[in-house]
Structure 1
Amino acid sequence: MLRRKLQASDAAAGFRLTQQYGWPHRLEDWQLLLTLGQGYAMQHDEQVIGTAMAWCWGDGHVSIGVVVVDKAWQGRGIGKQLMQVLMADYPDAELRLHATEQGAGLYRQLGFVRRGALGQHQTPCLPTIPYPRLPLGYQVALATLNQQPQLELLEHCATGFQRQSLYRYLLQSQRVFVLVDATGEIIGSLGCHRFGHGMSLGPCYSRDNALIPLLIQAVLSQLEGGFVRLDVDEQYLSDEWLRQWTLQRVDTPEIMVRAGSLPSRSLSAYQITVMTPALG
C-alpha cells in the first residue's frame, strides 16, 4: 500500500468510495472538496482505497471529513493511519468533525470529545411554504459580493473561522441569503448551494436566536418542490419546527472536537447549520 497526498484528479476515486456507503456526494461535490482543502489517500495497485481530508479555516481552526475506506479493505487500520498522518499536519490546531456512529469510536481513541449532535434533516419534495412576517424594517435578500466582508465577519463572530475562499465560491457560483435590519446590518446569513440530491441550506449564522426560524422560512419559501437538506446543530432548531415543513431527521452524527492551543474567546453569534458535514 502507498500513502500519498490527494490530488485534484482523485475526485472520481473519492466519489467511488462514498458511493459504496450511499453517501450523497456527487462528483462535483468531491471536486469542490479537493479545491478547498487537502488530504491523504491510501492506494493499492493504482486504486485509491481510502481518503481523509482537512480544511484549514485560519487561526488554527481545521475541519476534517470524508474519512472513508473501501469496504473491501475495512478492518485493517487504514482509516486510523490516514487520520494520524492528517492530524500530524495540524499539531496545535482545533480539529472539528462530524462522526458517524461507526467512526465515533476511532475518533475518541484519537483524542476527540463529543460537543453535541448534528441533526441531518431532509425532504425529497418541499411543500409550499409561506413567506414569514418579518419585524418592521427587516428584510431577507440575496447577498452581493460587496457584502462578503460582512458575511465573513459574522461567521468569524460565531466560529472563529476565516473562510474567504468558501464565501467567494458561494457568492459567485451559488447563493447566500441575508437577513438585514433597518440600518442595513446583517443579522443572519444562510447559504443555499447544490449538494448531493438537491439543495443544502448552510452555513447559517445569526446574531439573534429568535430570528433564525424567520430567515430559514424565508429561504424555504423559495424552494418549493425541490429536494432540501439542512444539517442543524440540534440545540437551535427543534425537530417539531422542521417537521412542519416535511423536513425529517434521517441521521444524527456527533459533533466532535480535538482541542488545540487556541486562546478562549467569547462568541457573539451562533452557528445554526453547517455548509456540509465535512466542511463544517
Structure 2
Amino acid sequence: MRIADIRDVELEQLHALSMAVRWPHRGADWEMLRGFGQGVAACDEIGRVFATAMWFDHGDDFATMGMLITSPRLQTHGAGRWLMEHVIARTRPRRLGLNATRPAMPLYRSMGFKVEATVFQCQGEALAPPRVEAPGALRRVRAGDAAAVLALDREAFGADRLRLLELLLPQSTGLVLERGGDVVGYALCRPFGRGHVIGPLVARNDEDAAALASPLIAEHAGSFVRLDTRNETGPFAELLVRSGLPVFDTVTTMSLGPGPWLRTPDAGGTPRVYGLASHALS
C-alpha cells in the first residue's frame, strides 16, 4: 500500500469507499470536503483505494479530522492507525478534534484522544414542526451579516471558521436571529446525503436554537432532514423529536492536545454550537 493525496484519487473511488461502509456522502459531498480540506488515501499497486483520512484547518492552531474510512477488507490490518499517524504528523502542532464512531473509539483512545461529549445524530422524514415564537427578529442571511455571523461562530466554536463559512454560505439557506439590532444566532441548511442537513446552528439558548431550526425543518417537511447536536434534552431536543427527527445514532466528540476543545456555556447565555456542520467539519 502507498499513501496518495486525496485530491489525486478519482471521485468515484471515494464515493464507492464511503458506500461500502454505508456512509451517506454523495459525490458532491466528497467534492466539497476535498475543496475545503486536505487528506490522504491508502492505495494498492494498481490504484485501488482502501482507506482515507482528512483534516480541516480552522485558523492556525486547530483542525478537525474526519472521513477516516477503512475498507472492511483492511479493518483488522492497521490501515486506520497508519493513516492517523500520518495525519497527526502533518497537522502538528495543532490541537485536533474529531467525532468518533463506536468502532473507531478504541483506536483514537490508544492514540491519546480524550472524550469530551456525545453527538446525537437526529434524522428522519421531517414533519411540520410545532409553532415556535421567535424571541427576536428572524430573517434570511444577508451579505452584510458575514462579520456578525463569523464573530458569533468564533465565540461558540472556539476557533476561526472563516474559510468554512465562506464556503457554506453560498450553497445554503441561511437564517439569523436579531435582538436589539444584534445578531444573536444563525443557522444554515444545505443539501447533504439523502436530503438536507441543518448546520452549523449557533444560538445562545434552547429557545433561540428552536426558533432558528423550526422554519428550516418546515421548508423540507416530507423529505429527509438531518441535524447533529450535542443537546440530548431540553426544548431544542424536544422540537427535533416532534418534527420527525429522533436520535438515529451517536458519535463521540474527542480531542488531542492541550486543554479541552469544547467550551462550557455559562449562565449568561454564551453562544454555543447547537447543530454541527458535519461530523468531519464539526
Q: 1:169 Cα shift? A: 2.3
Q: 1:161 Cα shift? A: 2.3
1:189 to 186, 189, 199: 186
Q: 1:65 Cα shift? A: 0.4
Q: Please state if 1:162 is matched with 2:164.
A: no
Secondary structure of 1:81's aligned partner? helix
List structure 1 segments (4+ residues) > 3 angstroms apart after TM superposition.
235-241, 260-268
Q: What are the Cα deviations for residues 169-226 of structure 1, in whole angstroms up to 9, with x where unaligned? A: 222122221111142x111111101110001000111133442222212322222222
1:272 to 271, 274, 282: 274
Q: Please state if 1:226 is matched with 2:226.
A: no
Q: 1:11 Cα shift? A: 2.6
Q: 1:20 Cα shift? A: 0.5
Paired residue for 1:84?
85
- What aligned pairs does 1:47-126 form with structure 2 within 5 A after superposition? 47-124=48-125, 126=126
Q: What are the Cα deviations for residues 50-72 of structure 1, in whole angstroms up to 9, with x where unaligned? A: 10000000031111001011112
Amino acid at match of 1:272: Y
Structure 1 unmatched ranges of 5 or more: none
CA RMSD of aligned residues (A): 2.1
| 1:60–1:235 distance in 2 versus 1, CA, 3 Å | farther
Q: Does the Cα contact within 8 Å between 1:59 and 1:160 map onto a contact in 2?
A: no
Paired residue for 1:216?
213
| 1:42–1:158 distance in 2 versus 1, CA, 3 Å | same
Secondary structure of 1:3's aligned partner? strand
Q: Does the Cα contact within 8 Å between 1:24 and 1:196 map onto a contact in 2?
A: yes
- What aligned pairs does 1:134-149 form with structure 2 within 5 A after superposition? 134-135=134-135, 138-149=136-147
Q: Does the Cα contact within 8 Å between 2:152 and 2:202 map onto a contact in 1?
A: yes
Q: 1:4 Cα shift? A: 2.1
* C-alpha distance in 1 between matches for 2:192 and 2:262: 33
Residue identity (%): 26
Q: 1:164 Cα shift? A: 2.2
Amino acid at match of 1:258: L
* C-alpha distance in 2 between matches for 1:117 and 1:242: 17
Q: Does the Cα contact within 8 Å between 1:11 and 1:34 map onto a contact in 2?
A: no
| 1:239–1:171 distance in 2 versus 1, CA, 3 Å | closer
Q: What are the Cα deviations for residues 74-130 of structure 1, in whole angstroms up to 9, with x where unaligned? A: 211000000001011122222111111100000001110110100001112x22224
Q: Please state if 1:24 is matched with 2:21.
A: no
| 1:81–1:25 distance in 2 versus 1, CA, 3 Å | same
Paired residue for 1:39?
39
Amino acid at match of 1:113: K
* C-alpha distance in 2 between matches for 1:235 and 1:85: 34
Paired residue for 1:252?
250
* C-alpha distance in 2 between matches for 1:67 and 1:51: 5
Q: Higher mean Cα deviation, 160-169 or 237-246?
A: 237-246
Amino acid at match of 1:84: E
TM-score, normalised by the number of residues in structure 1: 0.91
Secondary structure of 2:91's aligned partner? coil
Amino acid at match of 2:99: H
Q: Higher mean Cα deviation, 10-19 or 104-113?
A: 10-19
| 1:279–1:236 distance in 2 versus 1, CA, 3 Å | farther
* C-alpha distance in 1 between matches for 2:123 and 2:58: 27
Q: 1:264 Cα shift? A: 11
Amino acid at match of 2:278: T
Amino acid at match of 1:54: W
